[in-house]
Amino acid sequence: GAVVSQHPSRVICKSGTSVKIECRSLDFQATTMFWYRQFPKKSLMLMATSNEGSKATYEQGVEKDKFLINHASLTLSTLTVTSAHPEDSSFYICSARERGPSTDTQYFGPGTRLTVL
């Protein structure tokens, strides 16, 4: 299957700082990537849809100025958590849409564990 990577896998930062998380599709081009947040023992919560070359589409309740998304190329989307606070601590997961002659599905990255002190 398609491979999606995330970097970093784990990050600890101080309150008030900004953290950037990268999501890369390694063996396919993804015009669309997705960012999810997951709390312990909970399901995935879609935060935003990242479209290459255009603005991201945010889900209701997700602050676009706090969670900045950039999809500058067909293989890279970044999520920047600005002025992070302890309540932003979570597991952030990206996925990338792979479209082909016989497929159209999402493949997920390994996730990034963010801890804000």
- As beta bridge partners, residue 113 has 10, 91
How far apart CA 65 and CA 86 sit, in angstroms, is 17
Q: Which residues of 40-62 are buried (b: 16+ CB within 10 A; e: fewer)?
A: eeeeeeebbbbbbeeebebeeeb
Please give the single-letter amino acid code of residue 46: L
Residues listed for the chain: 117
Q: Which of 41, 53, 60, 101 binds another protein (CB under 8 A)?
A: 41
Binding mask 67-96 for another protein (x = CB under 8 A): --------------------x---x-x-x-
Minimum distance from CB of 100 to another protein (Å)? 10
Q: Which segment (11-19, 63-71, 72-80, 100-108) binds another protein by CB under 8 A?
A: 100-108
Please report, as ranges, the residues that interact with another protein according to CB under 8 A. Answer: 1, 4, 6, 32, 34, 37, 39, 41-46, 49, 87, 91, 93, 95, 97-99, 104-111, 113
